[in-house]
Structure 1
Amino acid sequence: MNKTLVMTQAFLKIFSRDRQSMFFSLVFPLLMMLAFSLVNGDDIDPVNIGVADAANSDLSQAFIDSLDRHPLFNVSTEQEEILRVQVVTGDLSLAVLLPENFRGTPSNIELRVLIDASQTAQMNTVMPLLEQALVEVERDLRELNPLFELSIEDIEARSQNYLDFVVPGLLALALMQIAMGGSGFNLVEFRRKGILKRMFVTPIEPRDFISGMVISRLVIVLVQLSILLGIAVYLLDITFVGNLFNLYVFIILGTTIFLSLGFMLGSLAKTQQSIMAMNMMLTWPQMLLTGIFYPIEAMPEIIQPLASLLPLSFIVNGLRGVAIDGATLLSLLPDLIGAAVWIMIGMILAVRVFNWKEVAV
C-alpha cells in the first residue's frame, strides 16, 4: 500500500480517537453560529427618553408626539427632578427639558438635554434624530412642505441579515483553527511522545509523513465545514446563493495556508506551551482584524491596509463573496492571488525550518 495513504489513514484514526478535539473543533464554531443567530443585527433596541414639559403648549406636545412616533424612542414625560434621577440611574438614556417659552414664538428657543456622557456611541445616534424631530416640528409649525422625499427600492433579489454576513467568517475561523491545530500542535505532541524519532528509523520518508498529515487534515476540514455549512443553511436558514465548488476552492486554499504555517510553528516550538503562545500570536490578530465579525472598512483607516493583507482576510472575502453574492472565481481573482501568495510564503517558511532530523529530536 502507498506509504502516503498509510500515513493518511493513521492520522485520520488518531483524530477519530481524540474525542475532545472532534467535539471542540465542531461544537465551538457551531455555538458561535447559534449565538449570532439569536442576535438580530437588523433590530435596534429603542432608546428610553424622558421629556420635562414646562411649556405645556401645543408646540411642546407636537414635539413630544414627533419623538414618540419614532420607532427608536420610548418617550415618557415627568418632572425635571425625576428625570435627572432616572438619567443618573440609567433608566433613561437622556432627558429633554422643554422651557416655558416653547410656544412657537419667533425668537430662538434653547432646549437643554441631560445625558450620560459615557454613552458616547448611543449619543452619536440619538442626537441627530432629536435634531430631525425639531426640524419636523418647525416645518409643521410654519406649514412648509418638504422639498425632497426619499423613495427606497431594494434591488437585491434576496434578504440578508447579520448571520448571513458572519457565517462565512466563522467557517474561515474554524478552518484556521483546525488546520493550525492539526499541524503545529500534532508535530510538537509527536515529538514529545517520541513518535517522530521512531518514524525516523522506518521506511517512512518525510514527504510521506507531511503528505499524509496534509491530506488527512484536508479531509477533516472538508467534512467538518460541510457539516457546519449544512447546519447554517438548513437549520439556521442563512442565505447561500453561491457555487459549492467555488466555496470549496477557498476552503482548500485556506487549509493549505494554515497547515503550512502550522508546520512552521510546530518545527520552531519545542513544547506545548510555546506552540500555544505562537499559535495565539498568529491567530488572534487575524480573528479580530480580518472582517469575520465586521467589515474591514469599519476599522480605523490606519489598520485597514495591514488587515486586508492578512492570510485569513483573503479566505474570508472569498467565502463571503461566494456565499452571499454568488461571486465567481474570476471576480474573486485578487483574493485567489492573495491566497496563492500566502501558500507560497507558508510553504517556503515551512520547508526552511522543517528538518526531519532536528524536528524528531
Structure 2
Amino acid sequence: MRGPSRRLLLAPVTITATKPLLPTHVKGFLWVDTLYRSTRLVRDLEYYWNPRAANLTGQTIQFWDHLDRRHPGLDHDTLSVEDLGHLYVRFHASGDARPMDRLRHYTERVEREGWVHPSTRAATRGWQRQLGLLGVHDPGLTADRPAAASIDETVELLVRRHLCVDHRGHGGPAYLDGTRWGMPLRPVIGADAHANYLLIILRDLLPRLAEGDEVLLVHDDDLAHDYALLARVLGELGARPSRLPLGRVPIGGAARSSRYGGWDGHSLGRLAELCLREFDPAVYRLGMRLYFIAMLKRTASEPFRLDLLRRAMTRAGRMLDEAGVPNETVKAAGDGGAGGTGRAGETDVTGGADDGDDLPAYLGGFAAPAGWIDPYRLTDGLFARRPSPALLKQVYL
C-alpha cells in the first residue's frame, strides 16, 4: 500500500437525476460508499461529486426541454421518482430530442447560476431519502459546485499538451487525442458547440489535481474505453490515476440503460419497501451491501434476484447478532455530508471506536495496489470470520 500521506481523490461517474435508482445505480453507490468509508480510515481521501456534471449533459438538458414543451403544467413535486422515470422512458422512445444548439439557454443557466430543473430537484430529493435510509454517505447530491475551469481554459491546456485537436475555429468539433497510445480520436465538443461528459469531468478534475496526486475513477464497465483515455490524459498531466470499472446488473436478463424501461418493481424505493417489511434497518443496510458487493461481485453478469437478496438479508441478521451490534446503532438519513475529506483514524457517526483501535491496520490488508480499500475483498471477508462491531459500525451501517 502506498504511503498514507499522499492524497487520493475519489471521482465516481455521476448519474443523471432523471429516473429512479435501479440495481446498477445501487451497486455503484454501495461500492463507492464502502470504499470511501473504509479508505478514509487509513489515508487522506476526498470524495468529489459535482451535480453540474450530470446536469450539463445532453440527455439531461434534452429531457428538461421535452418536459417544458410537452408537459408545461406538470407539478413535479407531486411525482414519485418512478413517475419521472416513466416520463424519461417515453421521452427517449418519442424521438422528441431537439438539437443542443437550440438549447443553449439551459446550459448557460446551469453554468451561470447552478440552476436545476424542478424535475431533477424532485428526483434528487427522492434519491437523498432513499440513500439516507440505506446509510450511504451523501457526497453532495444537491451541492452547487461551479466547474473549476471553463471550456476554453480546459481545451487550451489540452491543446498545449498535444492532447486535443480543436477544430472549433473552423466550425467543427474538438477531440481528445489519444493516438500516441493507439486510441482513436474521441469527440468532446460537437459541431453544435456542446461539450460532452468527458470534457465536463476534465474541467472539474484538472485544476484540482496537483503533481503526483492520486485519483480513482469509478465508472460503468461499458464506459471503459472513455475512462481508459481519461486516465491516460490525467497521467500525462501529472496525476496518478487508477480505475474501478463496475458491471451493470441485468434486470430480467437484460443489462441495458434505464432509458429503455423494463425496470418496474426494481427501483431502490421498491427494494427498501420489500426488505423493511421483514428486516430491521441495520439488517437492510448490511444485507444490501452483502448482496450488491460480495454476491454480485464487480463484473458478474448474473441478473438481479430477489431470492438472493433475501438470503443476503438473512445472513446479515446473523452477522449482526454474532457481532453483538444492536439495531439502535443505526441512525436515519446517513451522515448528511456534502462531500469532503476523510482523515486517517476518523470514526463514523454510527458508533464509537470500541474495538476499532486496530481497524486501520486490518483494513490495510484489503488495499488495492493504488492504496484504496477493495470493497469486494473486504465485504467477501465478512463471510469468513465474525466481523468486529467497529468494522460494521464505521464501514457498513
Greater relative contact order (CA < 8 Å, ≥ 6 in sequence): 2
Q: TM-score, normalised by structure 1?
A: 0.25
| Largest Rg, 1 or 2 | 1
- TM-score norm. by structure 2 comes to 0.23
